[in-house]
């Protein structure tokens, strides 16, 4: 099977959790009286779920532009790590392909790539797989946001579909845990995220991720390249 | 909100978020990655995803006392254990969503 199709298929179950968030995003844009053109430009140009929620909320309060932009950007800073993570796949890619690949970076696309890494035999296959996963994610998000804008949030609340997001993240993070040091990094990340949850603008997430990554750096520097 | 304010915010947000995404990808030809750096990159999911998972489970709908949202915590632990042995996305989703439905609706 073509790696692009494999990537799209691997993404499908994860999209279950994306649907309710997209619907809520679309419904929120409609509540703020955005026109369809404004909705599309906001979603296609920024394309950053959590950042968009915060930016929309701040814009509705007429917050200073610098506050809106900085909060939106800070929430998305973790993408810096994903950009570094996929960069080895793109060493030989054209400028245009790299621009597209960068646009497609999301938590889900990156995580699904890493979770399937061991099954992807070459850089070309990995890149095709990533492209399929990223395309499925982007297409689903844009369609669902428009549906939410037009019809409101119609996902039945009793099904708790938003809970599919943490569930899919668990299923994506487990295959990347190759030894005890990965579990320690994961626990560190979870612990600080609960501890720092009160910080504004998702700064707790950002700090937890970087503290956990610092621990990973210590492990790699101390233990070298063997797995334990 | 007026057009000028909205589009200024949107364009600056677009430039900001895209620059972050493009950063390493854009310069990947110039950066030579050594094995230690690649090894560190393999820790990124472990460093980022648990920090996203825990608030969604412990602080669901702003309930700071995390025991108030215990259904989600129980369902997540259950699904994680199954997923640990099965290593399967669908098992994790079906068991987690199923148990949460059972705990909240029954």
Would you call A111 and B51 a contact, using CB atoms and an 8 Å cutoff? no
Count of CB contacts below 8 A, A vs B? Answer: 264
- Would residue A171 count as lying in a domain? no
Residue A225: give the domain boundaries.
177-228
| Cα A175-A181-A187 angle, rounded to 5 deg | 80
Domain count, chain A: 2
Q: How many CB atoms lie within 10 A of CB B9?
A: 25
- pLDDT tens-place string over residues A8-43: 999 999 998 899 889 989 998 998 899 999 999 999
Distance from the Cα of A151 to chain B's closest Cα (Å) equals 22
- Would residue A163 count as lying in a domain? no
A132/A196 same-domain check: no
- pLDDT tens-place string over residues A53-106: 889 988 988 889 998 998 889 888 889 999 999 998 998 899 999 999 999 999
- pLDDT tens-place string over residues A119-175: 999 999 999 999 999 999 999 999 999 999 999 888 888 888 888 888 988 988 998
A150/A183 same-domain check: no
Give the contacts of A23 (CB within 8 A, at least 6 positions apart): A144, A145, A147, A148, A152, A153, A154, A155
A103/A190 same-domain check: no
Distance from the Cα of A7 to chain B's closest Cα (Å) equals 14
DSSP B31: P
Contacts of B49 in chain A (CB under 8 A): 107, 111, 169, 172-173, 186, 189
A142/A30 same-domain check: yes
């Amino acid at each position: 099977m073509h790696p692009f199709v494999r990537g799209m298929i691997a993404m499908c179950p994860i999209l279950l959790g994306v649907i309710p968030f997209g619907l809520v995003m679309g419904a929120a844009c409609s509540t703020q009286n955005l026109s369809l053109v404004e909705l599309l430009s906001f979603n296609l140009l920024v394309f950053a779920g959590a950042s968009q929620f915060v930016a929309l909320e701040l814009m509705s309060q007429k917050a200073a532009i610098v506050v809106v932009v900085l909060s939106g950007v800070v929430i998305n800073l973790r993408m810096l790590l994903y950009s570094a993570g996929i960069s080895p796949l793109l060493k030989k890619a054209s400028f245009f392909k790299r621009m597209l690949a960068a646009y497609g970076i999301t938590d889900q696309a990156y995580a699904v790539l890493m979770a399937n890494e061991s099954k992807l035999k070459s850089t070309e296959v990995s890149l095709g797989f990533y492209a399929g996963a990223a395309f499925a994610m982007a297409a689903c998000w844009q369609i669902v946001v428009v549906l939410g804008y037009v019809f409101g949030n119609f996902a039945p609340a009793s099904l708790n579909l938003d809970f599919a997001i943490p569930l899919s993240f668990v299923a994506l993070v487990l295959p990347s845990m190759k030894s005890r040091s990965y579990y320690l990094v994961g626990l560190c990340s979870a612990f600080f995220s609960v501890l720092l949850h009160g910080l504004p603008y998702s700064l707790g997430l950002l700090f937890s991720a970087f503290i956990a990554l610092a621990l990973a750096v210590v492990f790699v520097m101390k233990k070298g390249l063997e797995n334990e | 909100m007026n057009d000028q304010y909205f589009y200024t915010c949107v364009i600056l947000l677009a430039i900001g978020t895209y620059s972050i995404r493009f950063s390493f990808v854009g310069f990947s030809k110039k950066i030579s990655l050594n094995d230690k750096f690649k090894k560190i990159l393999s820790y990124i999911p472990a460093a980022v995803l648990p920090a996203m998972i825990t608030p969604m489970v412990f602080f669901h709908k702003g309930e700071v006392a995390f025991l108030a949202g215990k259904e989600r915590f129980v369902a997540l632990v259950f699904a994680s254990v199954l997923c640990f042995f099965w290593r399967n996305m669908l098992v994790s989703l079906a068991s987690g969503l199923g148990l949460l439905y059972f705990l909240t609706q029954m």
